[in-house]
């Protein structure tokens, strides 16, 4: 649900054939987070976590499509940055996967993969903060899709509930990640709300 909400942004990008002032960082970091989380959910890493592997595996595929679309319509200067980030992301995932298989076993492997997934998940949820800078600079919430912000808040809440149910012994580490994610999105929602209030105030003053 959270990832599908990106379709509104990419529909606009495709129609205008331009990424405008949208940032590609959140999409690349989300791709890495999905890869690591899917890896963590595999049976030889953790048991009874096929849901995590399935959801994040599908998420990685969807996110890669978004990154490729963004790359296609991005200006040349931004294309280089996105390509470099994508290569680093793939190398980081490959390194984490190889190290986890060759250097760790049992609980230690689970701990290593879970820690890596958690760290990059925090980065993923904090990456939209780059949009806040754009909102403050332009004094406009045009590049902060409301439904995307709302979807991320819902996603954080669902995963927090999943953690509280104790479905996985390592998922407790995700508490901090969810807090960071929710906090980031609260800032986003507040910025959007402030923008809406200013718009309504301007309309009211016209009458």
Distance of CA 32 to the CA centre of its chain: 9
- Total number of domains constituting the chain: 1
163, pLDDT greater than 60: yes
Give the CB-side neighbour count of residue 112, counting CA atoms within 13 A: 17
What confidence tens digit (pLDDT) does each residue in 77-126 have?
888 889 999 999 999 999 999 999 998 888 888 888 888 887 777 666 66
Tens digit of pLDDT for each residue in 135-149? 666 665 555 556 666
pLDDT, residue 28, reads 87
DSSP 3-state of 144:
coil
Burial 26-38 (b: 16+ CB within 10 A, else e): bbbbbbbbbbbbb
pLDDT at 207 exceeding the cut of 50: no
Q: Which of 108, 74, 109, 89 is nearest to 28 (CA)?
A: 89
d(CA 153, CA 2): 9
In the three-class reduction of DSSP (H, G, I as helix; E, B as strand; rest coil), residue 48 is classed as coil
| 19-46: pLDDT as tens digits | 877 778 878 888 888 898 889 888 888 8
Secondary structure (3-state) at 13:
helix
DSSP for residue 23: -
- Within 10 Å of residue 108's Cβ, how many Cβ atoms? 11
Strand, coil or helix: 128 = coil
What mean pLDDT do residues 167-177 have? 57
Residue 86 lies in domain: 4-205
Output DSSP code: residue 139: T
* Top-confidence residue, 8 or 110: 110
**Cα distances (angstroms) measured from residue 176 to each of 111, 138, 156, 171:** 16, 31, 11, 10
Q: How far apart are CA 41 and CA 61, in angstroms?
A: 16
């Amino acid at each position: 649900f959270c990832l599908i909400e990106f379709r509104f942004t990419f529909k606009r990008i495709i129609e205008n054939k331009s990424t405008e002032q949208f940032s590609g960082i959140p999409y690349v970091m989300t791709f890495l987070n999905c890869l690591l989380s899917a890896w963590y959910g595999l049976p030889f890493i953790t048991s009874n976590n096929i849901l995590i592997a399935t959801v994040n595996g599908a998420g990685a595929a969807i996110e890669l499509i978004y990154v490729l679309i963004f790359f296609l319509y991005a200006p040349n200067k931004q294309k280089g940055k996105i390509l470099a980030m994508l290569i680093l992301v793939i190398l980081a995932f490959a390194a984490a996967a190889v190290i986890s298989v060759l250097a760790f076993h049992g609980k230690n492997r689970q701990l290593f993969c879970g820690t890596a997934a958690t760290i990059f998940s925090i980065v993923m949820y904090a990456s939209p903060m780059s949009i806040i800078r754009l909102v403050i600079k332009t004094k406009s919430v045009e590049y902060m899709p409301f439904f995307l912000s709302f979807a991320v808040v819902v996603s954080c809440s669902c995963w927090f509930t999943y953690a509280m149910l104790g479905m996985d012994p390592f998922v407790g580490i995700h508490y901090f990640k969810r807090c960071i994610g929710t906090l980031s999105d609260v800032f986003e929602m507040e910025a959007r709300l402030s923008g809406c209030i200013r718009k309504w105030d301007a309309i009211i003053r016209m009458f």
